[in-house]
A and B are shown apart, each in its own frame.
Chain A
């Protein structure tokens, strides 16, 4: 469960998030939407512990992120998959090495890591690109590597920041199906997007951010 209490975040004088109150239950599928600059990325980064709030606090499974120790945060992050808007892939590592990193930090056995990495890359349709380097891939392919790295560890929570921004409609649908199936296995999924297509006809909970405030919540 993710709980945000009176959460605010400032960058200098610039208020990115203002007094956010929000509760996302374990196993929910939530869209966060809103115009560019509304604070979607900032919200996800706060939940991930990559930013510190100006005020208010965040509980993840009853753990207060304001007070969490560095080693505990490391452990928590192993259970959270994050698809970064800018991918954050390592250019000098191959596709499969990039994905395997998420498992290597946990200290799993190399054999298992190889198997799992391969499986996950198949899921996102990149089985034939395992040995390729990120910079030789298209934007959509890089995005799918980032997705694979986020889901390879079967996270409890998946935070996906604009995960379909570079994908064509067909791939967008496939990736959303993938997220749905991960969700069905019990993972909490939070997808930030400004794509209206993605939201059309969805029956999922949708939170709309505007200038750092929640303007709508379909709960």
Chain B
């Protein structure tokens, strides 16, 4: 029984080989574009994570903060995941920095009665995988601490990055969806062609008492085989392409970026997608095709 279905499906494919090769090519191309997009998105995501997480924060302290309170703030910062205190800038140092920065124009500073600059911590968030740091939340927590005057961080930059990622993701979904539709459409039409070329056989099968499933199964299998082979070829092509491409990219003088291949989960996703789309396509093609 099962061997009958497989045999029929293979016969179908062999009898319409050119059509199948053509549609297989299109399926591979569609899944390939999809895979490339995943690859690109995955890497983009990686890189942006790294840049995005190099978040720096300035924590300004109130004037006249007690030693005790400062220790509290200090240990709180050290307790934040991924946080690293780059520098503590005392009021005096802040003034010195400013003086140095102003150079010749620094004269007015000596006329000040008291130092207006606050002491501050320069904190950098993690080189190592602290994506998902929520700067707004940390800022809120820190500002609740006694002795903290204000917290500033490079907010704009992050927002932009996240917005950009969202846009890329949205485009990915749209293109991915269209490509999936495309695959379903191709499979549907290929299977329809086989169905029409085997109309007589379907009629006769029904006349000798074949169940609908018996008649349909080879066609479902045919679509499934097509989708699965398409998926496998797409993944293989992606992998070959990846082997050819460089794994380190230096871009715009930034730190060299690792170009990584799709994680196994995504590869399996493409394979499953091929199979599922193949089945859906043939399902649609079969639809309400026969009634004898």
Using a CB–CB cutoff of 8 Å, the interface residues on chain A facing chain B are: 48, 50, 70-71, 74-80, 82, 84, 88, 90, 92-93, 101-102, 104-107, 110, 149
Contacts and interface: CB of A to CB of B under 8 A. Distances in A.
B141 interface: no
A105 B215 CA distance: 9
Contacts of A78: 208-209
Given A74-B206, A77-B207, A82-B207, 17 more contacts: A70-B212, A74-B210, A75-B209, A77-B208, A78-B209, A80-B209, A82-B208, A88-B203, A90-B200, A101-B205, A101-B208, A102-B208, A105-B209, A105-B210, A110-B3, A110-B4, A149-B208
Contacts, number: 52
A50 B208 CA distance: 11
Contacts of B4: 104, 110
A149 B292 CA distance: 18
14 contacts: A70-B212, A74-B210, A75-B209, A76-B209, A77-B207, A78-B209, A80-B209, A84-B207, A88-B203, A88-B204, A90-B200, A90-B204, A104-B4, A105-B211
Q: Which 3 A-B pairs have the closest CB atoms?
A: A77-B209, A78-B209, A105-B210
Nearest to B203: A88
Scoring B1, B3, B207, B292 by chain A CB atoms within 10 A of each residue's CB, the highest score goes to: B207
Interface residues of B, number: 18
B216 to A, nearest CB: 12
A90 B201 contact: yes
B153 interface: no
A105 B292 contact: no
Scoring B15, B206, B209, B212 by chain A CB atoms within 10 A of each residue's CB, the highest score goes to: B209
Contacts of B211: 71, 74, 105
A141 to B, nearest CB: 18
Nearest to A80: B209
Interface of B: 1, 3-4, 15, 200-201, 203-212, 214, 292
Contacts of B214: 105, 107
Contact of B205 (A82, A105, A107): A105
A92 B11 CA distance: 11
Nearest to B1: A107
Contacts of B1: 104, 107
Nearest to B4: A104
Contacts of A79: 209
A48 B206 CA distance: 12
B204 to A, nearest CB: 5
B200 to A, nearest CB: 7
A48 B1 CA distance: 25
Nearest to A71: B211
Contacts of B200: 88, 90
Nearest to A91: B200
Nearest to A48: B207
Contact of A50 (B3, B205, B207, B210): B207
B212 to A, nearest CB: 7
B3 A88 contact: no
B193 to A, nearest CB: 15
Contacts of A76: 209
A101 B209 contact: no
A93 B207 CA distance: 17
Contact of A105 (B3, B15, B203, B208): B208
A90 B200 CA distance: 7
Contact of A88 (B207, B209, B212): B207
Contacts of A101: 204-205, 208
A82 B214 CA distance: 20
Scoring A78, A79, A104, A105 by chain B CB atoms within 10 A of each residue's CB, the highest score goes to: A105
A77 B205 CA distance: 11
A78 B211 CA distance: 10
A70 B214 CA distance: 13
A78 B214 CA distance: 13
A48 B200 CA distance: 18
Contacts of B15: 92
Contacts of A74: 206, 209-212
Contacts of A84: 207
Nearest to B214: A105
A110 B1 CA distance: 8
Contacts of B207: 48, 50, 77, 82, 84, 88
B2 to A, nearest CB: 10
